[in-house]
Amino acid sequence: MSLIRLSRVSRRYQMGTETIHALREVSIEVGRAEYVAIMGPSGSGKSTLMNLIGCLDTPSSGTYELNGTNVSDMDDNELAEVRNKEIGFVFQTFNLLPRANALHNVELPLVYAGIPSEERRQLALEALTNVGLADRVNHKPTEMSGGQRQRVAVARALVNRPSILLADEPTGNLDSKTGAEIMSLFEALADQGHTIIVVTHEEEIARHARRILRIRDGLIASDERADSHALVD
Amino acid sequence: MHWWIELREGLRIAWDATRANKMRAGLTTLGIVIGIVTVTLMGTAIQGLKRGFNQSISALGSDVLYLERYSWFINSHEEWIRQNRRREITWDQVRGLQRQITSARAVAPTVNTARPVKYKNRSASSVMVIGTTDQALYTGGTSVANGRFLTAGEAEGGRPVCVLGAQTATNLFRGESPVGARVYVGGYPFDVVGVLEPQGEFLGAFSLDNQVIVPIGQFTSLFTQRPDYAIHIKARDMDSLEDTREEARGIMRKLRRLAPGQDDDFAINQQDQFIKTFDKITGTIATVGIFITGLSLFVGGIGIMNIMFVSVAERTKEIGVRKAIGAKRRAILVQFLLEAAMICLLGGLLGLAIAAPGTLLLRKVMPATISLSIVGLALLVSLLTGVLAGFLPAWRAARMNPVDALRNE
């Protein structure tokens, strides 16, 4: 069974009197433990696709099944719950809370999951250790380097043990050396069996993935698998 | 469990946000501070007035009627002129009433004037000299601390004896025992037979203890040519007060030969009138106070609402992130409501901190202390203002679309 199953999904926006077709009847399946890159130039619809997969948005038509549940008609609060349980976001600009230290930032998804504070602390510490930041738990984002911040963000994304790690240009704000560090972290996570989806416009970043989906004008232009060992479904 | 975790997170964020914008929060909260200072001082003042009033009013018995030439409260100049033309209440009328009335427990005529009182070389100027009978012990709110009260025999003539008010006794005797001593009231000798219990001040205007009670017969022969009596009538109980009032009125009308249809040319006063007037005064204070409080809280609330809109706009991205990682609408709503409530609560605490020394000023004129209920009220009001003012911005934040919020820089 596929983890992600989009069937003939469209997303339209109303811009004044004009209707913009950001996605046109796209169908995609992604299996568990796949490492997928979504590529495309700006305006191609890749951000829209990412928002849909990340349950930040719902399709105008078509259905989206995540982990066997149809999420296309869910309301705001139901989607929030799905995001909390199933999706871990990593953003280009890290998006950590500036006033909170690393530990509290990582605890945040657990707060909204209603996990009591002792357990929360435990899980957050574990997640930070896994990304190699055990000695930075009390640092605030402003006291850390870009690479460290992004690793805090990865820890935050993974702390709830989500089904998907969804990264939007995760190296966009990093120099190439730190970017490479983050990509090797992703590779390690993929090897551990995490499902990872990276949205990027950089060929080099996409090459780390084992499957590349190219989007153009709201349609899937190509779907290539680098090799076969990623297919587990 | 779930909501408690969210609440704690909300409190933490609210506290961080407020601390990060101390200056802004402080300025915004000014309206709330003024509102809380007003509501606290007003509440304290009214409580203080009430306490003082209740102390004073107990000097007037609630079941006692005061039949006098004048009403206690005269509302117009015309009324005052009319009442001023009334005839005095005469001794014959006093006796007539005493004889005829059946529903009263006690009837005590009184007359008073101010005279100096001397003992040896000490003197007290303008002491209230009250001429009355032994019945005053029942109609008045007083009791005897030392010695005894006037007897029925002494009341209408005979021996010149007197009972001293507590303050007059201490002023003149400084610890000596007054009972048995001879004092001079307005130059005439009187033997002290008793001292009254202290009664305190009457509405802060004069002391009820600065008085000397003499037999009414002595009073009329020594101190006045045309006495104008007031008659204190104690009803059997509260329930029969109205009956007693009607009976006294009927008897008095007959004694003063009023034709049917003619207005009363005397007044029957009672404690009740004081309470009504007092309630009107405190009611006015409360109305003005509530108006000022309401206005400043309203202005303050608008300020809070404004600053919360700013806060929400500034943190749009944060809202997006929180939503992306699983915050539901409720969590975001609670977060911003808590922030607004916290700012207002801080304003409330600041207001209380300012009102506390303000109460010390009030204490110079009345027995005022900030009570726990007023502190509770003040905090509740500020909390409520925060929640009300914060609702719209918080609601807007809660309903934000996560995609748009995340795109915000």
> Do B48 and B112 belong to one domain?
no
- Which chain A residue has its CA at the smallest distance from B2's CA? A114
Domain containing A164 equals 33-55+75-225
Per the rule left: phi > 0, alpha: psi between -120 and 50, beta: everything else, A94 is left
Q: Please report the pLDDT score of residue A231 as a whole number.
A: 46
The residue-averaged pLDDT of B391-404 equals 95
B342 belongs to a structural domain = yes
Count residue pairs from A and B with Cβ separation < 8 A: 70
Instruction: State how many domains chain B has.
Output: 2
Q: Residues B289-328, buried b or exposed e (16+ Cβ, 10 A)?
A: beebbeebbeebbebbbebbeebbeebbbbbbbbbbbbbb
Identify the residue among B314, B325, B329, B407 best suited for mutation to test binding to A, counting A beta carbons within 10 A and taking the highest.
B325
> Do B12 and B124 belong to one domain?
no
Residue from the list B1, B325, B403 with its beta carbon closest to the beta carbon of A114: B1
E strands along B133-229, which residues? 144-147, 161-164, 182-185, 188-196, 201-202, 206-207, 211-215
Cross-chain residue pair B322–A109, CB shorter than 8 Å: no
B60 belongs to a structural domain = no
A118 belongs to a structural domain = yes
Q: In A, which residues are within 8 Å of B402 by CB distance?
A: 56
Among A221, A222, A196, A220, CA closest to A210? A196
Among A138, A141, A143, A142, CA closest to A125? A138
Q: Does the pLDDT value for residue B367 go beyond 80?
A: no
Among B136, B157, B121, CA closest to B212? B136
> Do B140 and B242 belong to one domain?
yes
A19 belongs to a structural domain = no
8 A C-beta contact, residue B35 and residue B351: yes
Q: Please report the pLDDT score of residue B203 as a whole number.
A: 66
Q: What is the DSSP letter of B386?
A: H
pLDDT in tens, B209-241: 889 999 998 898 888 878 889 999 999 888 888
B211 belongs to a structural domain = yes
Distance between CA atoms of B259 and B256, rounded to whole angstroms? 9
Reported as a pLDDT band with limits 50, 70 and 90, residue B43 is: confident
For A66, the enclosing helix (H) or strand (E) is strand A61-66
B68 belongs to a structural domain = no
The per-residue pLDDT of chain B, averaged, comes to 88
B79 belongs to a structural domain = no
Q: Please report the pLDDT score of residue B204 as a whole number.
A: 64
For B321, the enclosing helix (H) or strand (E) is helix B316-324
A175 belongs to a structural domain = yes
Distance between CA atoms of A43 and B36, rounded to whole angstroms? 55
> Do B299 and B239 belong to one domain?
no
Burial of residue B387 (CB within 10 Å: 0-12, 13-18, 19+) is middle
Q: Please report the pLDDT score of residue B362 as a whole number.
A: 81
Distance between CA atoms of B130 and A138, rounded to whole angstroms? 82
pLDDT in tens, B343-364: 999 999 999 999 988 888 888 7
Please give, rounded to a whole number of angstroms, the shortest distance from the CA of A228 to a CA of chain B. 32
The helix/strand/coil state of A93 is: coil
Top pLDDT among B61 and B386 is at B386
Reported ipTM? 0.92
Among A156, A151, A150, CA closest to A106? A156
Cross-chain residue pair A95–B5, CB shorter than 8 Å: no
Residue with tokens 């809109």: B309
> Do B367 and B304 belong to one domain?
yes
Distance between CA atoms of B326 and B319, rounded to whole angstroms? 11
> Do B149 and B174 belong to one domain?
yes
B257 belongs to a structural domain = yes
Quickly count helices (H) and strands (E) in chain B.
Answer: 15, 12
Residue with tokens 């009187």: B190
pLDDT in tens, B83-129: 888 988 998 999 999 999 999 999 999 998 999 999 988 888 889 99
B27 belongs to a structural domain = yes
Distance between CA atoms of B402 and B319, rounded to whole angstroms? 8
The residue-averaged pLDDT of B188-192 equals 93
Q: Please report the pLDDT score of residue A111 as a whole number.
A: 93
A61 belongs to a structural domain = no
- Which chain B residue has its CA at the smallest distance from A77's CA? B328
Distance between CA atoms of B181 and B164, rounded to whole angstroms? 11
E strands along A161-218, which residues? 164-168, 195-200, 211-216
A184 belongs to a structural domain = yes
Choose the weakest-confidence range: A112-121, A155-164, A218-227, B305-314.
A218-227
> Do B257 and B305 belong to one domain?
no
Give the pTM: 0.74
Q: How far is CA A42 from the centre of its chain?
A: 18
A41 belongs to a structural domain = yes
The helix/strand/coil state of B369 is: coil
> Do B161 and B290 belong to one domain?
no
Question: Residue A214 is encoded by which pair of tokens?
Answer: 């190219």
**A156 lies within 8 A of chain B by CB:** yes
A7 belongs to a structural domain = no
Reported as a pLDDT band with limits 50, 70 and 90, residue B400 is: very high
Cross-chain residue pair A80–B327, CB shorter than 8 Å: yes
Q: Does the pLDDT value for residue B75 go beyond 60?
A: yes
Q: H/E/C letters for each residue in B209-222?
A: CCEEEEEHHHHHHH
8 A C-beta contact, residue B73 and residue B256: no
The residue-averaged pLDDT of B316-333 equals 94
Top pLDDT among B204 and A27 is at A27
Choose the weakest-confidence range: A81-85, B177-181, B395-399.
B177-181
**DSSP result, B122-137:** EEEEEEEEEEE-TTHH
Question: Residue B402 is encoded by which pair of tokens?
Answer: 């996560």
Among A167, A169, A146, A143, CA closest to A157? A167
Choose the weakest-confidence range: A28-42, A83-97, B61-75.
B61-75
Cross-chain residue pair A97–B321, CB shorter than 8 Å: yes
The residue-averaged pLDDT of A96-103 equals 92
Distance (Å) of CA B368 to CA A20, B202, B208, B371: 70, 17, 21, 9
Residue spans of alpha helices (H) in A68-145? 76-86, 102-113, 117-130
pLDDT in tens, B239-283: 888 899 999 999 999 999 999 888 899 999 988 888 888 888 888
Instruction: Tally Cβ neighbours within 10 Å of residue A188.
Output: 12
For B67, the enclosing helix (H) or strand (E) is strand B64-68
Q: Please report the pLDDT score of residue B238 as a whole number.
A: 82
Choose the weakest-confidence range: A31-40, B67-76, B195-204, B374-383.
B195-204
Residue from the list A57, A76, A97 with its beta carbon closest to the beta carbon of B329: A76
The residue-averaged pLDDT of A63-77 equals 93
Which of B265, B295, B312 is at the close of a domain? B265
Per the rule left: phi > 0, alpha: psi between -120 and 50, beta: everything else, A132 is left
Instruction: Tally Cβ neighbours within 10 Å of residue A221.
Output: 12
Q: Does the pLDDT value for residue A178 go beyond 70?
A: yes
A88 belongs to a structural domain = yes
For B389, the enclosing helix (H) or strand (E) is helix B372-398
What part of A 21-80 touches B (C-beta under 8 Å)? 51, 54, 56-57, 76-77, 80
Instruction: State how many domains chain A has.
Output: 1
- Identify residues of B whose CB sits under 8 angstroms from chain A CBs: 1-2, 5-6, 8-9, 16-17, 20, 317-318, 320-331, 399, 402-403, 406
The residue-averaged pLDDT of B48-67 equals 81
Reported as a pLDDT band with limits 50, 70 and 90, residue B1 is: low
Distance (Å) of CA B404 to CA A167, B218, B400: 17, 96, 8
Please give, rounded to a whole number of angstroms, the shortest distance from the CA of B19 to a CA of chain A. 11
CATH code for the domain of A179? 3.40.50.300
B122 belongs to a structural domain = yes
> Do B255 and B121 belong to one domain?
yes
Cross-chain residue pair B16–A83, CB shorter than 8 Å: no
Strands B211-215 and B206-207: unpaired
> Do B239 and B349 belong to one domain?
no
**A111 lies within 8 A of chain B by CB:** yes
Q: How many CA atoms lie within 13 A of B345 on its CB side?
A: 14
Domain containing B242 equals 87-265
Which of B216, B245, B265 is at the close of a domain? B265
Cross-chain residue pair A108–B322, CB shorter than 8 Å: yes
